[in-house]
Copies of this chain bind each other. A is one copy, B any other.
């Protein structure tokens, strides 16, 4: 058997496995805030943008409406966001933070720190990794 099909020689497998393991870690941390990882990254964009439509949100998160629609409905049912159609263009769904959604930001302040503790990389290594990942991502557009 040639080595090129061995799992240990793949670059993509550790990427896939690592992503899953870290999302799993997030789950254990986010549970107490009644958030999933996907809901959490949606909220991160909301805290930055205050107002955004599904299309632009999807562009930021590399997700499409098929994934986002149910997630956004869930976040609305939890009263973290509000969903209303734009007046200017009724195709656009305007996403807005609620009071509860704004308050959530304070509550999760320590999440990035907690996650950081689970990843045993030095500051320099983390930065290296960050740059390599964005180099791949930027190429895919």
Contacts and interface: CB of A to CB of B under 8 A. Distances in A.
A17 B62 contact: yes
Interface string A48-82: 10000000000011100000000000000000000
A48 B4 contact: no
Identical subunits present: 2
A2 B16 CA distance: 30
Interface range on chain A (Cβ under 8 Å from partner):
35 or more
Interface of A: 1-2, 4-7, 9-23, 25-26, 37, 41, 44-45, 47-48, 60-62, 105, 108-109, 111-113, 115-116, 118-121, 125-126, 128-130, 132-137, 139-140
Q: Which 7 A-B pairs give the minimum distances between C-beta atoms?
A: A19-B19, A14-B133, A120-B139, A17-B62, A129-B132, A4-B112, A18-B133
